[in-house]
Amino acid sequence: MSRIGRKPIEIPEGVEVKISGNKISVKGPKGSLDFDFHDDIEAKNSEKEIQVTARRETKQSWALWGLTRMLIANMIQGATKGFEKKLELQGVGYRMATQGKKLNLALGFSHPVEVEVPEGLEARVEKNTLTISGIDKQKVGQFAASIRALKKVEPYKGKGFRYAGEIVRKKAGKKAVGAEK
């Protein structure tokens, strides 16, 4: 049984939720999101909350129950507050700038890297910090991960993209390791 699935989802004021069959639509001040959930899951809407239940008693149904509940809760949070990920770029000569719906990145390669910002997301650059924001948590996280994959933090000098607050463990170089013996 899912402990997360049992919790009801509160609907804040200004958010409109429509459930029809296996489709849920959430409309809020930031925008609207749609989601089709599995047939084993049932969602009921009352005035101020949504209750998600599993129709069958199988492991897959219980797993989908908690997952569906969290996805709906994330949709409601995205429609009201939105989501945000921050990436920091560290390294001498590494730069980034926005040009309309594109990010221009100088990451130490022989060419500049241009990345198109996906529909529904917004990217802002302040000094060495890139802020990605949007209403869909999955899209925000996926875009942040794809940007980070362009130049991951290397373990010797700590150069590259890292999430804000991420701690990178540095390795000792060859000379430092050889001197210990």
| Interatomic CA distance for residues 120 and 129, integer angstroms | 20
Return the number of other C-beta atoms located less than 10 Å from residue 117's C-beta. Answer: 17
Question: Among 3.40.630.10, 3.90.930.12, 3.90.1150.10, 3.30.70.1150, what is the CATH number of 83-163?
Answer: 3.90.930.12
The pLDDT tens digits for 67-108 are 999 999 999 999 999 999 999 999 998 999 999 899 999 999
What does pTM read for this prediction? 0.88
Domain boundary assignment for the chain: 3-80, 83-163
Output the pLDDT for position 172. 86
Question: Among 3.40.50.720, 3.60.20.10, 3.40.50.1370, 3.90.930.12, what is the CATH number of 3-80?
Answer: 3.90.930.12
Return the number of other C-beta atoms located less than 10 Å from residue 139's C-beta. Answer: 17
The pLDDT tens digits for 141-151 are 999 999 999 99
> CB neighbours of 149 closer than 8 A, spacing ≥ 6?
none
